[in-house]
A and B are shown apart, each in its own frame.
Chain A
Amino acid sequence: MIDLAIVLVLVIIGYIFGQRAERRHFESIIDREEQYKSLLCFSERFPPTQSPPPDVALVAGNVVISIDYFKRIVAGLRMLFGGRVTAYESLLERARREALLRMKEDAMEKGAHSVFNVKLETASITKGRGRQVGAVEVYAYGTALIEKTGS
C-alpha cells in the first residue's frame, strides 16, 4: 500500500512540475524561433556557389531533457496497449527544437547568415538502466556560412 502511495505522490509531482516546465519551454522555444528567423537552416549538403566564397565553421547545440515520473507512467501504460506515445513525442519535439535553437545561437555569435548540412543526433542517456527515470539528448550540428568581412 505504501508503495502505491509513493508512486502516486511521484506521479502528482511529475505531473505538476513536468507540465509546467513543458509549457514554459514551448513558450520560450516559439519565442526564440521567431527571434532567430533571419538565420536560415537547411539539411542540404552543398550551399549554392557564392562569390567570394564565404568562411565556414562548425556550429553545434545540444540539450538533455529528462522525462518526469508522470510521463514515464503514461508511457509505461502506453507500452501495454500500443499507439502514439504522446508523452515522449512532446519531449523529443522540445529537445530537437531546443538543440536547433542552441545551434542557431552558436551560428549567430559567429556572424553566420545560414547553416547548411544540419543534422540531428539523438541519444538516450540512461540506456540499459531501465529502472532510472530516463533522459534524452539531442545534438544538432551543421556548417555555418559566414560572409567575409573587410579585406
Chain B
Amino acid sequence: MNYQNRKIPEGINVSSEHPLKEFAILALIAVALVVLVVVILSALAEHFVKYIPFKAEQAIAATMAKQLDDGEAKSPEQQEIQDYLQGLANTLAVNQRLPKGMTITVHYIDESVVNAFATAGGHIVMYKGLLQEMPHENALSMVMAHEIAHVKHRDPLVSLGRGLTVLLAMASVAGVSDSSLFERFLGQAGLLTTLSFSRQQEKAADLEAYSTLREYYGHLQGAEALFEVLKSQEGSTKTPAFFTTHPLTSDRIETTKAFAASIHPLEKVELKKLPDFIERLK
C-alpha cells in the first residue's frame, strides 16, 4: 500500500477577501439599521409611553432619584423650603388633575444655577438660583405647574426612552454591552432628560400650566413674570443650555399675557407673596 500526504491547496478555509472590506460593509449596514431603528423607536416612544405604568417609571428612576439628593443632610432652613415647595407642588398637582397614582417629589438644591427641571419618576428639581429670582408665588407656581405638566405628559420618559434606545443600539453594534455602561447611563439620564424636551413638549407643558394656574388662582396674572426672569437670564452670557429648546421667551411672555387677558381682561389682582423664608434668600 502506498501512503502519502498530498499538499493541500491554500485558501480552502481562509477567505481571500480583505478583512477591512467585510468590516466596512457590515458596519455600514449596521449603522444604517441602527439609525432606522432609533428614528422609528423615538417616533413610537411618544405614542407608547403613556402605556407604561407610573410605578414602572418610578422604579426606573429610583437610582437617579438617589443622586438628586446627593446624600447630604439638609439644613432645617433647606428642609423648610423643600417642604413648602412640596406642598405647593401637591396643591398644583391636584389642580392639574394628575392621573391616579402619579406623585410629585420635589428636590430643592442649594446651588446658584437658575434652573428647574422635571425628570422621570415624578421628580422635580428646583435650584436655589431660580427660586431667588421669583418675585411672587404666582411665578413660582408657573414653574412648578410647567414641570408637573412634563411629568403628567410623561415627557422625561420619552426622552429617557430615546436615550436608552440610542445607547442600546450603539452598544449592540459596538459590542460594549457592559452592564456598567447601563448603570452609568441611568445615572446621567436624569440630567440628560432635561436637555432634550422638544419645543412641542414645552409648549404643551406651558398650556397645561396655564390651565392649572387658572384652576388654582382663578387668573393667570403674574405667570409672565417667570418668562421675564428667564429673559433677563438670556441677556446675560451664561444662558442655561436647556432654555434653548424652549419656545422663544418673548413669545412666551406674549402668549401668557394674551391668555391672562382672555380670562380677566380688566381687573388687576393682587399677587400672592412668597413666604418669608424664601424672601430671605434674595
Interface residues of A (CB under 8 A from B): 3-4, 6-7, 15, 19, 30, 37, 40-42, 48, 70, 72-74, 76-78, 80-81, 84, 86-87, 89-90, 92-93, 114, 131
24 contacts between A and B (CB under 8 A): A3-B170, A3-B174, A6-B176, A7-B176, A37-B7, A40-B4, A42-B3, A48-B3, A73-B174, A74-B22, A74-B23, A77-B26, A77-B30, A78-B22, A80-B26, A80-B30, A81-B29, A84-B15, A86-B15, A86-B22, A89-B13, A89-B14, A89-B15, A114-B3
Residues of A within 8 A of B22 (CB): 74, 78, 86-87
CB distance from B70 to the nearest CB of A (A): 24
CB distance from A139 to the nearest CB of B (A): 18
B101: Cβ under 8 A from any A Cβ: no
Known: A48-B1, A76-B175, A86-B15. 11 other contacts (CB 8 A): A4-B174, A37-B7, A40-B4, A40-B5, A42-B5, A73-B175, A74-B23, A74-B26, A78-B22, A81-B26, A89-B13
Residues of B within 8 A of A6 (CB): 176
B39: Cβ under 8 A from any A Cβ: no
Separation of A92 and B22 alpha carbons in the complex (Å): 18
Residues of A within 8 A of B15 (CB): 84, 86, 89-90
Residues of B within 8 A of A114 (CB): 3
A86/B14 contact (C-beta < 8 A), A7-B174, A77-B30, A80-B30 known: yes
Contact B14 A73 (CB under 8 A): no
A73/B23 contact (C-beta < 8 A), A90-B14, A131-B178 known: yes
CB distance from B198 to the nearest CB of A (A): 22
Q: Across the A-B interface, how many residue pairs have beta carbons closer than 8 Å? A: 66
Separation of A114 and B5 alpha carbons in the complex (Å): 10
Separation of A46 and B132 alpha carbons in the complex (Å): 93
CB distance from B34 to the nearest CB of A (A): 10
CB distance from B194 to the nearest CB of A (A): 19
Separation of A42 and B29 alpha carbons in the complex (Å): 44
Name A's interface SS: helix
Residues of A within 8 A of B14 (CB): 86, 89-90, 93
* Chain A residue with the shortest CB-CB distance to B16: A86
B270: Cβ under 8 A from any A Cβ: no
- Which 8 pairs show the lowest CB-CB distances between chains A and B? A77-B26, A86-B15, A93-B13, A76-B175, A90-B14, A7-B174, A74-B23, A40-B5
Residues of A within 8 A of B33 (CB): 80
Residues of A within 8 A of B173 (CB): 77
Contact B23 A70 (CB under 8 A): yes
Residues of B within 8 A of A77 (CB): 23, 26-27, 30, 173
Contact A74 B178 (CB under 8 A): no
Separation of A81 and B32 alpha carbons in the complex (Å): 13
Residues of B within 8 A of A92 (CB): 13
Residues of A within 8 A of B181 (CB): 3
**Docked complex: B1-51 residues within 8 A CB-CB of A:** 1, 3-5, 7, 10, 13-15, 17, 19-20, 22-23, 26-27, 29-30, 33
CB distance from A49 to the nearest CB of B (A): 10
CB distance from A81 to the nearest CB of B (A): 7
Contact A72 B175 (CB under 8 A): yes
Separation of A94 and B88 alpha carbons in the complex (Å): 71
Residues of A within 8 A of B4 (CB): 40
Separation of A80 and B170 alpha carbons in the complex (Å): 14
Residues of B within 8 A of A78 (CB): 22, 26
Separation of A41 and B15 alpha carbons in the complex (Å): 25
Separation of A73 and B31 alpha carbons in the complex (Å): 13
CB distance from B225 to the nearest CB of A (A): 39
B 164-183 binary contact with A (CB < 8 Å = 1; else 0): 00000010011110100100
* Chain A residue with the shortest CB-CB distance to B26: A77
Residues of A within 8 A of B3 (CB): 40, 42, 48, 114
Separation of A63 and B33 alpha carbons in the complex (Å): 38
Q: From A42, A70, A81, give the contact of B19 (CB < 8 A).
A: A70
